[in-house]
Amino acid sequence: MQNDITKHFRLSDSNKKLQYENRWLRERLKENKLSESAVNGHDSITIKTDDEHFTQHFEYIPGTVINSTFTKRNNYFTLNIGNAQGVKRGMGVISDKGVVGVVHNSSEHFSVVKSCLTKDINIAVVIENSGEPGFLKWDGRNARKGNMAGVSNDRDIKLWSKIVTRGSAGIFPRGLPVGKVSKTEPIEGKPLWNVTVKYAENYRSVQYVYVINNLLQKEQHELELDVPPQPLDDE
């Protein structure tokens, strides 16, 4: 019994060490860097491993789920990290398997996360092999499955295609796993597919997560606010 208890706590320590190692590795992926220089005379950017040539785009704050629900219409996680660790409302949350949700609110030492099992989650996603965009939804029925809304039915959607984050809102980097297409059916009276998504993560058993801080999100939003308003009628 003593050995089993000791192994349990050692396993918990090992998981936390792996979590911090994963954070360190994630922040060094090229997807989380922006090049500060371009190749002269070409559209492509330089690819170098030296950190001095890149600007950090995203950082990952490791946390642990200490409370959660998954049987309600709108479900939430409570994390053991908050403002003191840099967590703020609106930040994306992921696990090692995929997208988990978005921070709903935070205090000094805790935060509540609106999981993908909520009515108005609205995460921008894309079908990886076709580039077809849409938004992640949940109908409140199955904790392992959601829906991708806004997909035109003039596109051929292959079963088990990967669905990943689009990255358009700046909450998540582009390309993070969300799930796979498990079913498609036409929506009556609309030129759209109802796309069923099998989630990459099992939200009933999430334990360790990362809160994503987009270090350049303010710059993106300020630039987008300067876009001229669209006319009411075509000119």
- Does residue 227 lie in a domain region? no
Task: Supply the pLDDT for residue 5.
Answer: 45
- List the CATH number of the domain containing 166: 2.40.10.350
What local confidence, expressed as pLDDT, does residue 176 receive? 95
Q: Which domain holds residue 21?
A: 1-56
In a domain, 181, yes or no: yes
pLDDT at residue number 177: 96
Is residue 82 situated within a structural domain? no
pLDDT, block means (10 residues), the chain with 235 residues: 45 59 58 45 37 72 95 96 96 96 97 96 94 95 96 92 93 95 94 96 94 88 81 56
Residues 56 and 106: their CA atoms lie apart, in Å, by 24
pLDDT at position 9: 46
| pLDDT reported for residue 18 | 66
Let me know if residue 68 belongs to a domain.
Answer: no
φ, ψ for residue 15 (rounded to 5)?
A: -60, -40
Total number of domains in the chain: 2
First-to-last alpha carbon distance for the chain, in angstroms, is: 78
Q: Would you state the pLDDT for residue 95?
A: 95
Q: Does residue 129 fall inside a structural domain?
A: yes
Taking the C-alpha atoms of residue 192 and residue 201, their distance in angstroms, rounded to an integer, is 26
Closest by CA position to 160, among listed 140, 184, 142: 184
- Is residue 113 included in any domain, yes or no? no
